[in-house]
Amino acid sequence: MSWAGLPPKKRSAALGIGKIPIRVLSSTFLRMTGAGSDLVKTPPKAGLDFAAIRLKRGFMIVSSDPITGISEDIGYLAVKVSANDVATSGNRPQFAESVVLLPEGSTEAEAGMIAHQMHEAARESGIAIVGGHTEVTPGLHHPIVAVTVFSFARRYVTSGGARDGDVIMMTKTAGLEGTAELLREPGVFSRPLAPATVAKASRMVKDVDISREAVGAFRTGRVHAMHDCTEGGVLGAVVEMSVASDVGFRLLEGAVPVDPVTSRVCRKLSLDPLKLIGSGSLLLAVTKGSEETVRRALRPTKVTKIGEFRKGPRTLVNMAGTELAVREPPEDELWRIVRRPSRPGKGL
Protein backbone atom coordinates (compact mmCIF):
# COMPACT_ATOMS: atom_id res chain seq x y z
CA MET A 1 0.00 0.00 0.00
CA SER A 2 1.27 3.47 -0.86
CA TRP A 3 0.68 6.49 1.37
CA ALA A 4 2.26 8.94 -1.07
CA GLY A 5 -0.98 10.89 -1.37
CA LEU A 6 -1.02 11.89 2.30
CA PRO A 7 -0.02 15.45 3.21
CA PRO A 8 3.60 15.63 4.48
CA LYS A 9 2.52 16.36 8.05
CA LYS A 10 0.59 13.09 8.14
CA ARG A 11 3.57 10.90 7.27
CA SER A 12 5.24 9.12 10.18
CA ALA A 13 7.35 6.11 11.12
CA ALA A 14 6.23 2.71 9.87
CA LEU A 15 4.27 0.55 12.28
CA GLY A 16 5.71 -2.75 13.41
CA ILE A 17 4.16 -6.10 12.56
CA GLY A 18 1.24 -7.32 14.68
CA LYS A 19 -1.12 -5.27 16.84
CA ILE A 20 -0.55 -1.53 16.57
CA PRO A 21 0.62 0.26 19.75
CA ILE A 22 -2.09 1.26 22.23
CA ARG A 23 -1.03 4.90 21.86
CA VAL A 24 -1.68 4.80 18.10
CA LEU A 25 -4.86 2.77 18.47
CA SER A 26 -6.25 5.24 21.02
CA SER A 27 -5.56 8.28 18.84
CA THR A 28 -7.02 6.76 15.66
CA PHE A 29 -9.48 3.88 15.53
CA LEU A 30 -10.74 4.19 19.11
CA ARG A 31 -11.34 7.92 18.69
CA MET A 32 -12.92 7.76 15.23
CA THR A 33 -15.99 5.59 15.80
CA GLY A 34 -18.58 6.98 13.42
CA ALA A 35 -21.99 8.27 14.42
CA GLY A 36 -22.10 6.67 17.84
CA SER A 37 -25.18 5.32 19.57
CA ASP A 38 -26.79 5.45 23.00
CA LEU A 39 -27.32 1.72 22.68
CA VAL A 40 -23.57 1.03 23.01
CA LYS A 41 -23.14 -0.07 26.62
CA THR A 42 -19.46 -1.08 26.29
CA PRO A 43 -17.77 1.20 23.73
CA PRO A 44 -14.38 0.49 22.09
CA LYS A 45 -11.39 0.72 24.42
CA ALA A 46 -7.87 -0.66 24.35
CA GLY A 47 -7.75 -4.07 25.98
CA LEU A 48 -11.46 -4.87 25.72
CA ASP A 49 -12.44 -8.18 24.09
CA PHE A 50 -15.93 -7.29 22.85
CA ALA A 51 -18.66 -4.68 22.54
CA ALA A 52 -21.98 -4.86 24.39
CA ILE A 53 -25.08 -3.40 22.70
CA ARG A 54 -28.24 -2.71 24.72
CA LEU A 55 -31.36 -4.61 23.73
CA LYS A 56 -34.89 -4.41 25.14
CA ARG A 57 -33.97 -7.29 27.41
CA GLY A 58 -30.27 -7.73 28.04
CA PHE A 59 -27.36 -7.18 25.67
CA MET A 60 -25.80 -8.36 22.44
CA ILE A 61 -22.13 -9.30 22.95
CA VAL A 62 -20.06 -9.10 19.73
CA SER A 63 -16.38 -9.51 18.81
CA SER A 64 -14.25 -9.89 15.66
CA ASP A 65 -10.76 -11.32 15.19
CA PRO A 66 -8.59 -12.46 12.26
CA ILE A 67 -6.13 -15.32 11.89
CA THR A 68 -3.18 -14.33 9.69
CA GLY A 69 0.29 -15.60 8.84
CA ILE A 70 -0.44 -19.34 9.17
CA SER A 71 -2.10 -22.00 7.05
CA GLU A 72 -2.63 -24.98 9.36
CA ASP A 73 -6.01 -25.04 11.20
CA ILE A 74 -6.75 -21.46 10.15
CA GLY A 75 -10.52 -21.95 9.88
CA TYR A 76 -10.74 -23.80 13.19
CA LEU A 77 -8.69 -21.22 15.08
CA ALA A 78 -10.54 -18.26 13.53
CA VAL A 79 -13.85 -19.45 14.96
CA LYS A 80 -12.42 -20.43 18.35
CA VAL A 81 -10.46 -17.20 18.89
CA SER A 82 -13.45 -14.93 18.26
CA ALA A 83 -15.70 -17.25 20.27
CA ASN A 84 -13.25 -16.97 23.15
CA ASP A 85 -13.53 -13.19 23.15
CA VAL A 86 -17.31 -13.44 23.53
CA ALA A 87 -16.93 -16.13 26.20
CA THR A 88 -14.85 -13.75 28.36
CA SER A 89 -18.14 -11.96 29.02
CA GLY A 90 -19.21 -15.05 30.97
CA ASN A 91 -21.67 -16.14 28.28
CA ARG A 92 -21.53 -18.86 25.64
CA PRO A 93 -21.05 -17.71 22.01
CA GLN A 94 -24.05 -18.39 19.77
CA PHE A 95 -23.67 -17.05 16.19
CA ALA A 96 -20.86 -16.27 13.73
CA GLU A 97 -20.13 -14.62 10.39
CA SER A 98 -16.84 -14.93 8.50
CA VAL A 99 -14.69 -13.15 5.93
CA VAL A 100 -12.33 -15.55 4.12
CA LEU A 101 -9.63 -14.08 1.85
CA LEU A 102 -7.77 -16.65 -0.26
CA PRO A 103 -4.50 -16.04 -2.14
CA GLU A 104 -4.39 -16.35 -5.92
CA GLY A 105 -3.93 -19.95 -6.99
CA SER A 106 -6.04 -21.36 -4.15
CA THR A 107 -7.95 -24.51 -5.07
CA GLU A 108 -11.49 -25.68 -4.42
CA ALA A 109 -10.07 -28.30 -2.08
CA GLU A 110 -8.25 -25.64 -0.02
CA ALA A 111 -11.39 -23.53 0.23
CA GLY A 112 -13.35 -26.59 1.27
CA MET A 113 -10.79 -27.46 3.94
CA ILE A 114 -11.15 -24.02 5.57
CA ALA A 115 -14.94 -24.27 5.42
CA HIS A 116 -14.80 -27.70 7.05
CA GLN A 117 -12.50 -26.46 9.81
CA MET A 118 -14.85 -23.57 10.57
CA HIS A 119 -17.83 -25.92 10.57
CA GLU A 120 -16.15 -28.32 13.01
CA ALA A 121 -15.09 -25.54 15.39
CA ALA A 122 -18.54 -23.95 15.35
CA ARG A 123 -20.30 -27.27 15.88
CA GLU A 124 -18.08 -28.06 18.88
CA SER A 125 -18.89 -24.67 20.43
CA GLY A 126 -22.62 -24.72 19.67
CA ILE A 127 -22.27 -21.79 17.25
CA ALA A 128 -24.43 -21.29 14.16
CA ILE A 129 -22.56 -19.78 11.19
CA VAL A 130 -25.11 -17.39 9.65
CA GLY A 131 -23.23 -15.74 6.77
CA GLY A 132 -20.12 -13.95 5.58
CA HIS A 133 -17.99 -13.31 2.49
CA THR A 134 -15.35 -15.35 0.66
CA GLU A 135 -13.04 -14.25 -2.19
CA VAL A 136 -9.69 -14.79 -3.88
CA THR A 137 -7.59 -11.69 -3.18
CA PRO A 138 -4.44 -10.58 -5.06
CA GLY A 139 -1.24 -9.95 -3.12
CA LEU A 140 -1.75 -12.49 -0.34
CA HIS A 141 0.83 -15.11 0.64
CA HIS A 142 -1.46 -16.90 3.11
CA PRO A 143 -5.21 -17.11 3.59
CA ILE A 144 -6.75 -14.62 6.02
CA VAL A 145 -9.85 -15.62 7.95
CA ALA A 146 -11.71 -13.08 10.09
CA VAL A 147 -14.70 -14.18 12.15
CA THR A 148 -17.30 -12.14 14.01
CA VAL A 149 -19.05 -13.97 16.85
CA PHE A 150 -22.02 -12.70 18.81
CA SER A 151 -24.31 -13.78 21.59
CA PHE A 152 -27.19 -12.54 23.74
CA ALA A 153 -26.79 -12.07 27.48
CA ARG A 154 -28.51 -10.69 30.58
CA ARG A 155 -25.29 -10.02 32.51
CA TYR A 156 -21.58 -9.89 31.70
CA VAL A 157 -18.10 -8.84 32.80
CA THR A 158 -15.38 -7.30 30.65
CA SER A 159 -11.59 -7.32 30.68
CA GLY A 160 -11.84 -3.78 32.10
CA GLY A 161 -13.28 -4.75 35.49
CA ALA A 162 -10.10 -5.69 37.37
CA ARG A 163 -9.74 -4.00 40.77
CA ASP A 164 -6.90 -3.02 43.04
CA GLY A 165 -6.07 -6.10 45.13
CA ASP A 166 -7.55 -8.68 42.73
CA VAL A 167 -5.51 -11.84 42.26
CA ILE A 168 -4.40 -12.60 38.67
CA MET A 169 -5.14 -16.22 37.82
CA MET A 170 -4.77 -18.09 34.53
CA THR A 171 -6.06 -21.38 33.18
CA LYS A 172 -3.96 -24.07 31.46
CA THR A 173 -0.46 -23.04 30.30
CA ALA A 174 1.27 -20.22 28.42
CA GLY A 175 1.69 -20.10 24.65
CA LEU A 176 -0.81 -22.84 23.77
CA GLU A 177 -1.91 -21.57 20.38
CA GLY A 178 1.57 -20.43 19.41
CA THR A 179 3.07 -23.80 20.28
CA ALA A 180 0.47 -25.64 18.23
CA GLU A 181 0.95 -23.31 15.26
CA LEU A 182 4.74 -23.58 15.32
CA LEU A 183 4.68 -27.37 15.57
CA ARG A 184 2.21 -27.73 12.70
CA GLU A 185 3.49 -25.02 10.35
CA PRO A 186 5.74 -26.38 7.54
CA GLY A 187 9.36 -25.25 7.49
CA VAL A 188 9.69 -24.03 11.08
CA PHE A 189 11.93 -26.90 12.16
CA SER A 190 14.79 -28.36 10.16
CA ARG A 191 14.00 -31.99 10.96
CA PRO A 192 10.72 -33.96 10.98
CA LEU A 193 8.97 -33.97 14.35
CA ALA A 194 8.47 -37.09 16.42
CA PRO A 195 4.93 -38.54 16.18
CA ALA A 196 4.35 -37.92 19.90
CA THR A 197 5.19 -34.23 19.46
CA VAL A 198 2.82 -33.91 16.49
CA ALA A 199 0.09 -35.58 18.53
CA LYS A 200 0.71 -33.11 21.36
CA ALA A 201 0.35 -30.20 18.92
CA SER A 202 -3.00 -31.57 17.75
CA ARG A 203 -4.23 -31.75 21.34
CA MET A 204 -3.08 -28.17 21.97
CA VAL A 205 -5.19 -26.96 19.02
CA LYS A 206 -8.21 -28.52 20.72
CA ASP A 207 -7.27 -26.77 23.99
CA VAL A 208 -7.73 -23.26 22.59
CA ASP A 209 -11.44 -23.18 23.56
CA ILE A 210 -12.05 -21.31 26.86
CA SER A 211 -15.87 -21.20 26.81
CA ARG A 212 -16.43 -23.75 29.55
CA GLU A 213 -13.98 -22.21 32.03
CA ALA A 214 -15.11 -18.63 31.28
CA VAL A 215 -18.76 -19.45 31.92
CA GLY A 216 -17.86 -21.48 35.02
CA ALA A 217 -15.68 -18.71 36.46
CA PHE A 218 -18.38 -16.09 35.83
CA ARG A 219 -20.97 -18.17 37.68
CA THR A 220 -18.90 -18.15 40.88
CA GLY A 221 -19.56 -14.43 41.26
CA ARG A 222 -15.94 -14.00 42.41
CA VAL A 223 -14.47 -12.85 39.09
CA HIS A 224 -14.39 -9.14 38.19
CA ALA A 225 -12.75 -9.42 34.75
CA MET A 226 -11.61 -12.00 32.19
CA HIS A 227 -9.37 -11.84 29.13
CA ASP A 228 -8.18 -14.36 26.54
CA CYS A 229 -4.41 -14.66 26.01
CA THR A 230 -4.19 -13.90 22.29
CA GLU A 231 -1.47 -11.94 20.50
CA GLY A 232 1.33 -10.97 22.88
CA GLY A 233 0.70 -13.99 25.11
CA VAL A 234 0.22 -13.90 28.87
CA LEU A 235 2.25 -10.71 29.30
CA GLY A 236 0.36 -8.92 26.54
CA ALA A 237 -3.00 -10.00 27.96
CA VAL A 238 -2.15 -8.81 31.48
CA VAL A 239 -1.05 -5.42 30.08
CA GLU A 240 -4.30 -5.12 28.12
CA MET A 241 -6.41 -5.97 31.18
CA SER A 242 -4.42 -3.41 33.16
CA VAL A 243 -4.98 -0.69 30.55
CA ALA A 244 -8.68 -1.49 30.20
CA SER A 245 -9.13 -1.50 33.99
CA ASP A 246 -6.94 1.54 34.78
CA VAL A 247 -4.90 -0.38 37.35
CA GLY A 248 -1.31 -1.57 37.58
CA PHE A 249 -0.07 -5.10 38.17
CA ARG A 250 2.73 -7.25 39.52
CA LEU A 251 3.21 -10.37 37.39
CA LEU A 252 5.49 -13.20 38.54
CA GLU A 253 7.28 -14.83 35.60
CA GLY A 254 8.22 -17.87 37.69
CA ALA A 255 4.58 -18.54 38.60
CA VAL A 256 3.33 -18.73 34.98
CA PRO A 257 2.84 -22.42 34.04
CA VAL A 258 4.53 -23.50 30.80
CA ASP A 259 3.99 -26.91 29.20
CA PRO A 260 7.25 -28.88 28.67
CA VAL A 261 6.61 -28.99 24.91
CA THR A 262 6.20 -25.21 24.84
CA SER A 263 9.43 -24.84 26.81
CA ARG A 264 11.30 -27.02 24.31
CA VAL A 265 9.88 -25.17 21.30
CA CYS A 266 10.71 -21.75 22.77
CA ARG A 267 14.20 -22.85 23.77
CA LYS A 268 14.97 -24.20 20.27
CA LEU A 269 13.62 -21.08 18.56
CA SER A 270 14.91 -18.58 21.18
CA LEU A 271 11.40 -17.38 22.06
CA ASP A 272 9.84 -16.14 25.31
CA PRO A 273 6.77 -18.28 26.22
CA LEU A 274 5.19 -15.36 28.11
CA LYS A 275 5.06 -13.39 24.84
CA LEU A 276 3.83 -16.22 22.61
CA ILE A 277 0.22 -16.12 21.40
CA GLY A 278 -1.75 -18.13 23.92
CA SER A 279 -5.40 -18.56 22.96
CA GLY A 280 -6.83 -21.25 25.22
CA SER A 281 -5.47 -19.69 28.40
CA LEU A 282 -7.95 -17.49 30.24
CA LEU A 283 -6.85 -14.67 32.55
CA LEU A 284 -9.03 -13.97 35.57
CA ALA A 285 -9.18 -11.03 38.00
CA VAL A 286 -10.37 -12.81 41.15
CA THR A 287 -11.45 -11.39 44.50
CA LYS A 288 -8.57 -11.98 46.91
CA GLY A 289 -9.30 -14.99 49.08
CA SER A 290 -11.56 -16.63 46.49
CA GLU A 291 -8.86 -18.53 44.62
CA GLU A 292 -9.96 -21.97 45.83
CA THR A 293 -13.60 -21.23 44.97
CA VAL A 294 -12.58 -20.54 41.39
CA ARG A 295 -10.27 -23.57 41.23
CA ARG A 296 -13.07 -25.88 42.42
CA ALA A 297 -15.52 -24.43 39.89
CA LEU A 298 -13.13 -25.01 36.97
CA ARG A 299 -11.95 -28.55 37.78
CA PRO A 300 -10.34 -30.44 36.08
CA THR A 301 -8.88 -27.40 34.28
CA LYS A 302 -5.63 -26.21 35.83
CA VAL A 303 -5.88 -22.71 37.37
CA THR A 304 -2.77 -20.91 38.66
CA LYS A 305 -2.18 -17.69 40.61
CA ILE A 306 0.43 -15.62 38.74
CA GLY A 307 0.28 -12.15 40.31
CA GLU A 308 -2.01 -9.35 41.38
CA PHE A 309 -3.59 -6.17 40.12
CA ARG A 310 -2.75 -3.08 42.14
CA LYS A 311 -2.58 0.67 42.07
CA GLY A 312 0.67 1.98 40.68
CA PRO A 313 3.11 0.69 38.07
CA ARG A 314 2.92 -2.31 35.75
CA THR A 315 5.80 -4.64 36.56
CA LEU A 316 7.09 -8.09 35.68
CA VAL A 317 9.19 -9.93 38.26
CA ASN A 318 11.59 -12.02 36.18
CA MET A 319 13.17 -15.39 37.07
CA ALA A 320 16.08 -13.58 38.74
CA GLY A 321 13.72 -11.66 41.03
CA THR A 322 14.26 -8.32 39.28
CA GLU A 323 11.18 -6.13 38.96
CA LEU A 324 10.94 -4.74 35.40
CA ALA A 325 8.62 -1.95 34.23
CA VAL A 326 6.17 -2.91 31.46
CA ARG A 327 4.83 -0.03 29.36
CA GLU A 328 3.28 -1.66 26.25
CA PRO A 329 2.06 -5.11 25.26
CA PRO A 330 5.00 -6.93 23.65
CA GLU A 331 5.23 -7.90 20.01
CA ASP A 332 4.13 -11.50 19.72
CA GLU A 333 6.96 -13.99 19.42
CA LEU A 334 5.20 -15.77 16.54
CA TRP A 335 5.87 -12.76 14.29
CA ARG A 336 9.61 -13.18 14.85
CA ILE A 337 9.38 -16.59 13.22
CA VAL A 338 7.07 -15.48 10.39
CA ARG A 339 9.41 -12.72 9.23
CA ARG A 340 12.75 -14.53 9.64
CA PRO A 341 14.59 -14.65 6.28
CA SER A 342 15.59 -18.26 6.98
CA ARG A 343 12.77 -19.70 9.00
CA PRO A 344 13.82 -23.22 10.07
CA GLY A 345 14.95 -23.41 13.67
CA LYS A 346 17.09 -26.03 15.31
CA GLY A 347 15.73 -29.57 15.18
CA LEU A 348 13.24 -30.35 17.90
pLDDT in tens, 167-198: 999 999 999 989 988 887 777 777 777 788 77
Give the pLDDT confidence of 27-64 residue by residue, as tens digits: 899 889 899 899 999 988 888 889 999 999 999 999 99
Domains, the chain, in order of start with CATH, read 37-153 (3.30.1330.10), 167-338 (3.90.650.10)
Q: Is the pLDDT assigned to residue 342 strictly greater than 50?
A: no
Is residue 300 reached through a cis peptide bond, with omega within 30 degrees of 0 on the bond before it? yes
CA 234/CA 254 separation, integer angstroms: 13
Across the strands, what pairs with 310? 248
d(CA 295, CA 94): 26
> Which letter does DSSP use for residue 2 in this model?
-
Helix ranges restricted to H, 68-107: 74-87
Does the pLDDT value for residue 347 go beyond 50?
no
The larger pLDDT score, comparing residue 328 to residue 127, is at: 127
- Within 8 A by CB and 6+ apart from 162, the residues are 224, 225, 241, 242, 244, 245, 247, 285, 309
pTM of the entire structure? 0.88
Residues 198-229 have pLDDT tens digits of 777 778 888 899 999 999 999 999 999 999 99
